[in-house]
Structure 1
Amino acid sequence: MAFPSKVSALLLFASASAALNLFLLLPSLFPSPSCPTSSPVPTKVGARGDHRMPEQIFSTSDDIKWIRAQIHGNSLPDPSNSPHVWHSLRKGINPRTREQQLEDLLRFKGISHYEDAGKIHTALPCPGELLVEEHHSNYGEPWAGGRDVFEFLASAISLQPSDLVLEVGCGTLRVGLHFIRYLDSGHYNCLERDELSLLAALRYELPSQGLLHKRPFILKGDDMNFSRFGDDSSYDLIYASAVFLHIPDQLVWVGLERLALKLKPMKGRIFISHNIKFCSRIKKECPMKLEKIGLEYVRNHTHDSLLFNHYEIWYEFRRCVK
């Protein structure tokens, strides 16, 4: 009866050998991953779960050297101080000033037309005054200065895309556009009282800059009422560019007290530009008033413009923790 036992042993050995060979062959049946096995480079995750690297905030010295080389390489002359000479450089087929372009838009109701003039094929019709960007001249300095303000503020607090920002008086988004583009979706808030500025911001700037998907929270108001932004808002940055100059002193203090409650303790910052008129007139009382509403003065800053001769003074505050 030993023969069946030997057969069973041989069958068991053969099965084991086959299983071992199959195990060794498995790796060759499937292609190995082509990606490296090293750890992936960490990236920022936006509010909607999209992975992206933070945008570079300011121009480096290498960037300046590069653009100067591009200008020199194309043999472009230094800008002329004469408006006549400057405008004579335009060699287009139909050179138009802003006023002439607006006249054409109003006269012809657009640029090109469909034959069925009665139908509107434009999803978001925009007034001609906005299309020719008249609102870019509504400021005391060039429109390009908005980028300077963004770079200064973002660098001052090491702004991250996931941070929450509130602008008091965003106007036509001269500064806000840069924050909206940099921040995660829904992380830029603004309170603005001027109707024309809001029309320019919502009907032209956001659509034309491709920023509708960023869903900024922009509200109309002139009473320093920030409750509509939510009770649990905790901002990393609150700023007001030349806004408090045009507000009565008492309303300024009411606004600051309300803003202090919206600021992250210690980490969050409030920046106010230009002259703080209410503190310049009551220098001795100012520290006491700030302490009463829970704010602490940190220091002031100046920053220069990249493109034109201009600098601004900003005052920095943080929330006290008692």
Structure 2
Amino acid sequence: MALLPSKGVVISVPTLVLSVAAAATLLFFFLFTISSPSPPCSCPGPTKADSSIRTSERVSTSAEDIDWVKGLIEANGLHMQPNVLRKGINPRTRKQQLQDLLQYKGISHYEGEAASNHTALPCPGELLVEEHHSNYGEPWAGGRDIFEFLAEAARLTPNSKVLEIGCGTLRVGLHFIRYLDPEHYHCLERDELSLMAALRYELPSQGLLSKRPLIIRGEDMDFGKFGPDTTYELIYSSAVFLHMPDKLVWTGLERLAGRLKPIEGRIFVSHNTKFCSRLGGDECTKRLNSLGLEYRGKHVHDSLLFNHYEVWFEFRRFKA
């Protein structure tokens, strides 16, 4: 049987059926290709970070941090120029605060029987008004800056042990104590007032009593109370050796050499090493070598919290 179109073209029924079937098959494959998921790609792509791998936390300020602060200052229309500080509620100088503390025995304006009430461990008024923050001739906040430099330079971890020679009122030490594991910060300090400020004000005010730092009073470079087998990843002295007699500095270095961990341990001394250079010639190198120490170089640290840079001298123990 044949169909007769108006143009006179004859198309058989079987041919028409086959054409429709072929068109349906092509349409099926086209739709299947669109709806099917793509085959897995063998090319490299982003991978999910392994949560079990912990990256070390950065200690010091980064360039991005500084740029961020600059941007925020500019965005707020702030200017680096002399400004008159605006006083808060009940403004008083340190001197006026201290006078009130002494007059009212540190417990506000109570009188009579209430005037005999005291806290568990009364704090001296001089500490409460933070007079000890002015004992160094440099900003108190600079302690954080020194900590950042030393922690990065010595590649410390919270498990490291640190010894400070002359920690004063913990301007720098507070930051090490907070960063390190409990009992891992040690200090030798000679000044009684500084130690009182550290123990009675700074540690409690910063919530660091639980860190149990070992702070020893002494002025003869005797480290026996820190334990006979204690070794350190970092031993540092900030603006202390330059005020000590050369002979005492060398006595200290001789006693410290055995307490510094070989190779990775570091000693840092700030400002200058005149105790060494005054020997003349190669005598300093020879004397250091006799102690198992070697000079590693000078670091000029550009500070974020001072208006000047600091100079640090690095030493290490090259043999056990």
TM tier, smaller: 0.7 to 0.9
Distance 2:216 2:202 in 1: 16
Distance 1:298 1:78 in 2: 38
Equivalent position amino acid for 1:302 in 2: V
Post-superposition offset of 1:235: 0.5
Asked if the contact 1:257–1:294 (Cα under 8 Å) also holds between the matched residues in 2, the reply is no
TM-score if structure 1 supplies the norm length? 0.78
Give 1:280's aligned residue: 277
Give 1:59's aligned residue: 61
Q: Deviations over 1:69-117 (max 9, x none)?
A: 444444444341xxxx52xx32423111121111121122225356742
After TM superposition, list the pairs within 5 Å mapping 1:7-46 onto structure 2. Answer: 40-42=51-53
Post-superposition offset of 1:128: 1.1
**1:171 is aligned to 2:168:** yes
Q: Deviations over 1:220-259 (max 9, x none)?
A: 0011111110111110000011111111111111100100
Distance 1:100 1:166 in 2: 37
Give 1:48's aligned residue: none
Give 2:137's aligned residue: 140
Asked if the contact 1:165–1:187 (Cα under 8 Å) also holds between the matched residues in 2, the reply is yes
Q: Deviations over 1:15-68 (max 9, x none)?
A: xxxxxxxxxxxxxxxxxxxxxxx964345xxxxxxxxx8654112233223333
Asked if the contact 1:164–1:188 (Cα under 8 Å) also holds between the matched residues in 2, the reply is yes
TM-score if structure 2 supplies the norm length? 0.79
Give 1:16's aligned residue: none
**1:300 is aligned to 2:311:** no
Equivalent position amino acid for 1:304 in 2: D
- Structure 1's 92 and 159: CA in aligned 2 closer, same or farther, altered over 3 A? same
Q: Unaligned regions of 5+ residues in structure 2, if any?
A: 1-48
The structure 1 residue matched to 2:267, chosen from 264, 267, 270, is 270
Distance 1:269 1:91 in 2: 45
Give 1:193's aligned residue: 190
Distance 1:172 1:70 in 2: 33
Q: Deviations over 1:164-221 (max 9, x none)?
A: 0000110111110110011011100000011111011111100001100110000000
The structure 1 residue matched to 2:312, chosen from 303, 314, 317, is 314
Asked if the contact 2:236–2:267 (Cα under 8 Å) also holds between the matched residues in 1, the reply is yes
Name the SS for the 2:297 alignment partner: strand
Name the SS for the 2:258 alignment partner: helix
Q: Supply the RMSD in Å over aligned alpha carbons.
A: 2.2
- Structure 1's 139 and 213: CA in aligned 2 closer, same or farther, altered over 3 A? same
The structure 1 residue matched to 2:80, chosen from 75, 78, 82, is 78
Give 2:6's aligned residue: none
Task: Tell which deviates more after alignment, 186-195 or 279-288.
Answer: 279-288
Asked if the contact 2:107–2:118 (Cα under 8 Å) also holds between the matched residues in 1, the reply is no
Q: Unaligned regions of 5+ residues in structure 1, if any?
A: 1-37, 44-52
Name the SS for the 2:305 alignment partner: coil
Post-superposition offset of 1:270: 0.6
Distance 1:265 1:139 in 2: 33
- Structure 1's 128 and 63: CA in aligned 2 closer, same or farther, altered over 3 A? same
Q: Deviations over 1:122-160 (max 9, x none)?
A: 222111111111111111321121111111111112110
Asked if the contact 2:107–2:115 (Cα under 8 Å) also holds between the matched residues in 1, the reply is no
Give 1:9's aligned residue: none
The structure 1 residue matched to 2:247, chosen from 250, 256, 260, is 250
Name the SS for the 1:299 alignment partner: strand
Asked if the contact 1:54–1:161 (Cα under 8 Å) also holds between the matched residues in 2, the reply is no
Task: Tell which deviates more after alignment, 98-107 or 266-275.
Answer: 98-107
Give 2:210's aligned residue: 213
Give 2:98's aligned residue: 102
- Structure 1's 264 and 91: CA in aligned 2 closer, same or farther, altered over 3 A? closer
Name the SS for the 1:250 alignment partner: helix
- Structure 1's 204 and 79: CA in aligned 2 closer, same or farther, altered over 3 A? farther
Asked if the contact 1:270–1:317 (Cα under 8 Å) also holds between the matched residues in 2, the reply is yes
Asked if the contact 1:266–1:321 (Cα under 8 Å) also holds between the matched residues in 2, the reply is yes
Distance 2:58 2:94 in 1: 32
Name the SS for the 1:234 alignment partner: coil
Equivalent position amino acid for 1:231 in 2: P
Task: Tell which deviates more after alignment, 190-199 or 243-252.
Answer: 243-252
Post-superposition offset of 1:294: 1.6
What is the number of equivalent residue pairs in this alignment? 271
Distance 2:149 2:160 in 1: 16
Equivalent position amino acid for 2:52 in 1: V
Asked if the contact 2:127–2:197 (Cα under 8 Å) also holds between the matched residues in 1, the reply is yes
Distance 1:230 1:118 in 2: 44
- Structure 1's 66 and 109: CA in aligned 2 closer, same or farther, altered over 3 A? farther
